[in-house]
C-alpha cells in the first residue's frame, strides 16, 4: 500500500475514503516498534456510512440475486488473485503481525483454500429441500437465503485468515458486509478488499472501516441495519459485542479463544521416534506465532512417569528457538504484536512464579541482536513446570509464548484436567493406543480434538468451541449456514375454500 494512499483505507460504496474526522493511525512494525505506514482511523460516522452502503447494495443491488454459479466463479477468481499476490501479501502479513514470512505465506494459501471451498460448496447445492406435505396438491420446499448485511469483526493474530473465514461464506451466501479488521493489523484486509473489486464484486457489497473496537466495532454490533455480527477475539470484547447486539436481536457468532490442553500419555513416547515427535509437536502447539493463536496448546498435561524427561527436552529445545524479525532468514519465531501484549505476558509469568511455578525455560526478554532490535516486542518461549489449576496462568488465556505443565496418573484424571476450563476450543491427545485415544477424544469438551497431531484444520470441517470459547461455527457447511436464513415456501396447487366459517 503506497504512502500516498495510506490514509484512504475506509471503503464504502466502492470508494476509498479518509475518515470523516480526518484522523489517522500509525501502523507499527512489532519487530522494531517503529511505524511504517498510516491508515485512516474511522469512528461511528464512518461505520454508519459503510453500513448504509452495504444496506443499499443488499436491498437494491444485484449481488443477493446473482446466480450461485456466478458467485462461485467470483470466489474462485479471488483465490487466483491471492495466489498471484502470495509473496506480497505474505510479507505484508509478516510485517504487520510480526509472524515469520513462512507463516505469512501459509496463511495466504489457507485464505485461498477458504475461498475455493465455499465456492465449491455453494456450487454443488440443490435448489432447496423438498418437504413432503402429504398431498399431491401441495409443493413445499425449504430454501436458504442470505441473512442480509453482515458486520465482520476480526482479530490481530491471523488478520487475513480470520477475515477470509467470514468474508468467503458471507459472499457465497449472497450477503453484503462491513469488515472491521483489528486496528493493529489492518493492512492485508485492506488489500483483500482491493482484490474483491478486481475480481468484479459489485460496488457496495464489500465495505471496510479501519478503526478501534470501542467506536467502530461497538457501532457495528449495535447498528439496527446490521442483520448479523460475526466476531473473533477475546472473551471480554466478545461479551460486549453480544450485549450490544441483543437489543436488535440480530444473529451473532462469536469465536472467543481458548485455554487448550495437549494431553500426552506415556505410551506415546515409548520409542525415541514417538518421544521426539510428541516433544516437537508440543513446541509447535505452544509457540507457533509466539503463542498468539486461539487454539495454542498452552496447557501441556503429561503423564506423571514421563514428566521429567519430557519437560527437560522440551525446555532444552524451547531455549534454542531462534527469535527475530519475521522477514529475516532462519528466524523461527517473531515478536509479540505490541508492547501492551508483551507486558500482559510478563505479568502472567510473574504471577505464575509467585504462585509456585518452576521456570524451566525463557521467562524474560531476549538479548538484542541484528535480527532482534531492542525496540521490538520480543519475549522468550517460556516453559513453566509444576503448575496447577489454582494459578491464573493455567486458567486464563495468556496469548503469548508461555507453556504450563500439569501431570496426571490415570485416564480419568487426564480427562478431568483437560476439561477443567471455562473454554472449550481445541485440544489434543497423544497415545499409541488407538482405542484409548479415541475414547479420551470423545470425552473432551472441545470443538476440535486432534489425535497424535496439533494445529491442522480443514476448511470443510467446522471450527468453533464449547463454553466460553463462543457460539456458532466457522468453516464447513455450518460455517456457511451462519450467513443464511431458512425459509419455508408452501404452495397450494389446488386452492379451494376451507369453509371454516359458515357465513
What pLDDT is stored for residue 500 in this prediction? Answer: 93
The yes-or-no verdict on residue 493 having pLDDT over 90 is yes
Task: Locate 397 and state its grid cell.
Answer: 488465556
Q: What is the pLDDT of residue 6?
A: 54
> Hey, is 38 helix, strand or coil?
strand
Phi, psi angle pair for 227, to nearest 5°: -95, -20
Q: How far is Cα 398 from Cα 387, in angstroms, rounded to an integer?
A: 14
How far, in Å, CA of 291 to CA of 255, rounded?
17
Q: Is the pLDDT of residue 3 over 90?
A: no
Catalytic-labelled residue, pool 294, 333, 346, 406: 294
255 tagged catalytic: yes
Q: Which of 255, 346, 380, 474 is catalytic?
A: 255
Summarize pLDDT for 56-114 with one digit per residue, the tens: 999 999 999 999 999 999 999 999 999 999 999 999 999 999 999 999 999 999 999 99
Instruction: Find the mean pLDDT for residues 25-45.
Output: 97
Q: Is 294 a catalytic residue?
A: yes
Residue with cell 457447511: 477
Can you tell me the distance from the alpha carbon of 431 to that of 455, in angstroms, rounded to the nearest whole number?
17
What is the spatial distance between Cα 368 and Cα 372, in angstroms, rounded to a whole number? 5
Residue 34 has pLDDT above 70, yes or no: yes
Coil/strand/helix, residue 27: strand
SS (H, E, C) 137-154: CEEEEEEEEECCEEEEEC
Whether the CB-CB separation of 140 and 132 falls below 8 Å is answered with: yes
Contacts of 37 (CB under 8 A, 6+ apart): 1, 3, 6, 26, 27, 187
What's the pTM value of the predicted model, to 2 decimals?
0.96
Is-contact 228 250, C-beta < 8 A?
A: yes
Separation in Å, CA 280 to CA 65, 260, 284, 331, 347: 50, 17, 6, 17, 27
pLDDT tens-digit map of 361-385 = 999 999 999 999 999 999 999 999 9
Please write the tens of the pLDDT for every residue from 444-476.
999 999 999 999 999 999 999 999 999 999 999
* Residue 159 clears pLDDT 90, i.e. is over it: yes
Amino acid at each position: 500500500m503506497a504512502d500516498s494512499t495510506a490514509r484512504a483505507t475506509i471503503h464504502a460504496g466502492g470508494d476509498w475514503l479518509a475518515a470523516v474526522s480526518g484522523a489517522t493511525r500509525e501502523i507499527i512494525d512489532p519487530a522494531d516498534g517503529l511505524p511504517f505506514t498510516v491508515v485512516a482511523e474511522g469512528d461511528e460516522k464512518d461505520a454508519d456510512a459503510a453500513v448504509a452502503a452495504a444496506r443499499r447494495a443488499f436491498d437494491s443491488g444485484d449481488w443477493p440475486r446473482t446466480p450461485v454459479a456466478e458467485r462461485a466463479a467470483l470466489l474462485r477468481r479471488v483465490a487466483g488473485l491471492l495466489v498471484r499476490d502470495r509473496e506480497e501479501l505474505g510479507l505484508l502479513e509478516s510485517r504487520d503481525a510480526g509472524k515469520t514470512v513462512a507463516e505469512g505465506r501459509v496463511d495466504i494459501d489457507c485464505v485461498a483454500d477458504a475461498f475455493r471451498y465455499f465456492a465449491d460448496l455453494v456450487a454443488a447445492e440443490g435448489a432447496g429441500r423438498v418437504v413432503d406435505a402429504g398431498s399431491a396438491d401441495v409443493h413445499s420446499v425449504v430454501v436458504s437465503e442470505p441473512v442480509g448485511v453482515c458486520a465482520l469483526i476480526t482479530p490481530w493474530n491471523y488478520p487475513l485468515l480470520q477475515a477470509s473465514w467470514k468474508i468467503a461464506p458471507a459472499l457465497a451466501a449472497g450477503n453484503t458486509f462491513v469488515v472491521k479488521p483489528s486496528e493493529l493489523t489492518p493492512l492485508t484486509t485492506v488489500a483483500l478488499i482491493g482484490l474483491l473489486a478486481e475480481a468484479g464484486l459489485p460496488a457496495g457489497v464489500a465495505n471496510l472501516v479501519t478503526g478501534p473496537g470501542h467506536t467502530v466495532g461497538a457501532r457495528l454490533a449495535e447498528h439496527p441495519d446490521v442483520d448479523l455480527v460475526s466476531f473473533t477475539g477475546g472473551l471480554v470484547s466478545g461479551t460486549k459485542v453480544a450485549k450490544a447486539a441483543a437489543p436488535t436481536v440480530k444473529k451473532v457468532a462469536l469465536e472467543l479463544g481458548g485455554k487448550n490442553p495437549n494431553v500426552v500419555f506415556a505410551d506415546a513416547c515409548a520409542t525415541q521416534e514417538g518421544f521426539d515427535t510428541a516433544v516437537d509437536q508440543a513446541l509447535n502447539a505452544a509457540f507457533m506465532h509466539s503463542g498468539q493463536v486461539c487454539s495454542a496448546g498452552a496447557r501441556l498435561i503429561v503423564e506423571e512417569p514421563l514428566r521429567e524427561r519430557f519437560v527437560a527436552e522440551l525446555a532444552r529445545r524451547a531455549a534454542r528457538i531462534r527469535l527475530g524479525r519475521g522477514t529475516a532468514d532462519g528466524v523461527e519465531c517473531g515478536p509479540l504484536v505490541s508492547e501492551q501484549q508483551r507486558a500482559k505476558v510478563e505479568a502472567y509469568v510473574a504471577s505464575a512464579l509467585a504462585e509456585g511455578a518452576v521456570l524451566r525455560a525463557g521467562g524474560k526478554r531476549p538479548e538484542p541482536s541484528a535480527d532482534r532490535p531492542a525496540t521490538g516486542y520480543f519475549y522468550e518461549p517460556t516453559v513453566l513446570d509444576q503448575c496447577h489449576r489454582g494459578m491464573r496462568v493455567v486458567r486464563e488465556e495468556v496469548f503469548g509464548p508461555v507453556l504450563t505443565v500439569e501431570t496426571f496418573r490415570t485416564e480419568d484424571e487426564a480427562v478431568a484436567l483437560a476439561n477443567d476450563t471455562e473454554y472449550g476450543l481445541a485440544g489434543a491427545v497423544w497415545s499409541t493406543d488407538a482405542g484409548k485415544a479415541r475414547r479420551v477424544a470423545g470425552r473432551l469438551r472441545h470443538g476440535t480434538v486432534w489425535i497424535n497431531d496439533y494445529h491442522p484444520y480443514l476448511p470443510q470441517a467446522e471450527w468453533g468451541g464449547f463454553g466460553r470459547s463462543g457460539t456458532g461455527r466457522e468453516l464447513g457447511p455450518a460455517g456457511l449456514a451462519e450467513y443464511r436464513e431458512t425459509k419455508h415456501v408452501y404452495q397450494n396447487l389446488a386452492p379451494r375454500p376451507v369453509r371454516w366459517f359458515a357465513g
